[in-house]
Amino acid sequence: MTDDAQLRPAISWRRNLYALWIAQTLTIIGFSLRTPFLPFYIKDLGAESFASQALWAGVINAGGAAVMAVSAPVWGIVADRFGRKPMVVRAMLAGSLTIGLMSLATSPWHLLILRFVEGGFTGTVTASTTLVAATTPRERMGFGLGMMQMAVFSGASVGPLFGGILADQIGYRPTFVVAGSMLFIGGLIVLTQVREEFTRPARGSVDEQSSQRLRALLLSSAMLAMIAVMLTLRVASSAIQPIMPLYVEQLARSTSTVATLSGLTLGIAGLTSAVASISLGRLADRVGQRPVLVASALGVGLLYLPQAFAGSVAQLIVLQGLFGVAAGGVMPTANAIVAHLTPAERRGAVFGFTAAATSIGGFIGPLGGSSLAASFDIGYVFLASGLLMLVVGVWVAR
């Protein structure tokens, strides 16, 4: 069957792509504003020791991912039946509500409960990726998905930096309100500017034979390799995220601007990833997705290792910037391969299942990283993440 974009030429796939890029960038900025100060906010809510801050930050990050691992496939199936655009709007507006309510928390438990709700009703990256994959011509798939990954990385670079500055200037609670407002604006942009001509499938059209083909696709060696790469990258990155502010605090000589420094450290990787994702996405359209994917995955593993031995915040920032270049090539190429493997009418379900797998990584990573940091040392988190990524990169290459 031909792609949705070929069946519905009236849709301006470029208009959709650029509107989704703006909305997704605002959304990821909103999600990322809290990253550099979350452990310090948890401290204000009653977690006094380093170990308790690290563990609470890990559990809160993991909680949302655990729920999303269950909900993502369900939302993917709903998207295939009722349309992809409503799923994007639903995810952004739900995130706006939960993040805004975090400003009212008085205990770490409140953050954890809100993260559970967030995990169940958000998933903006998967929803937007599915919509772009359904409306972008096949020969421009790498570019389109690279643009969406650029939105993720751009937001992930700007968000922590601005979040750290806002936290130092206006406080933690008002920063949550700003974050929720950005997701609300993103949802309005999608609601008013994105077009989707979706034909709801007839009842009973998804028969047992179609379901068997879907299961066979999900269990194929190529699909399992893509899932392994995405899951491993999520494990590694999410293991680092909750403890990075604490690592910066250890390396920094002054603690008066530690939120700003941790935001800069987290943000530089997002900035270099944003630039690399669109460039490597275009390169993959020309030379093939696989070589770019393999090189990027191995680069991620190699660049994690020296971060364990950083002697200053400046060294950590440089290494994070180089790491971001390699990370920028992984998700666009993996998503493009998944899109090429999948019939257009089942992309919602398939991307939902890949999102579930990466959400499992988002559950394992924070718990494992926080436990390693609390029990031994933060450096072990970088070493374990790098070795894990190298093993998977070599496996995919072979």
Distance CA 381, CA 239 (A): 7
pLDDT value at residue 202:
64
pLDDT value at residue 306:
93
Give the model confidence (pLDDT) of 222-264 as tens digits. 888 888 888 898 888 888 877 888 888 888 866 667 777 888 8
| pLDDT in 10s for each residue of the chain, 398 residues | 444 444 444 458 888 999 999 999 999 999 989 988 888 899 899 887 877 887 888 788 778 888 888 888 888 888 888 888 999 999 999 999 999 999 999 999 999 999 999 989 988 888 888 888 888 887 777 788 878 878 887 887 788 888 888 998 999 999 999 999 999 999 999 999 998 877 776 665 555 566 677 778 888 888 888 888 888 988 888 888 778 888 888 888 666 677 778 888 878 888 888 888 878 878 887 888 889 999 999 999 999 999 999 888 889 999 999 998 998 888 888 888 888 888 877 777 788 888 888 888 888 888 888 888 888 888 889 999 999 999 988 888 87
Contact 223, 341 (CB under 8 A): yes
CA angle 132, 135, 138 (to 5 degrees): 95
Distance CA 369, CA 283 (A): 33
pTM passes above 0.75: no
pLDDT value at residue 357:
84
Q: Which among 144, 114, 160 is positioned nearest to 17, based on CA atoms?
A: 144
Give the model confidence (pLDDT) of 87-118 as tens digits. 999 999 999 999 999 999 999 999 999 999 99
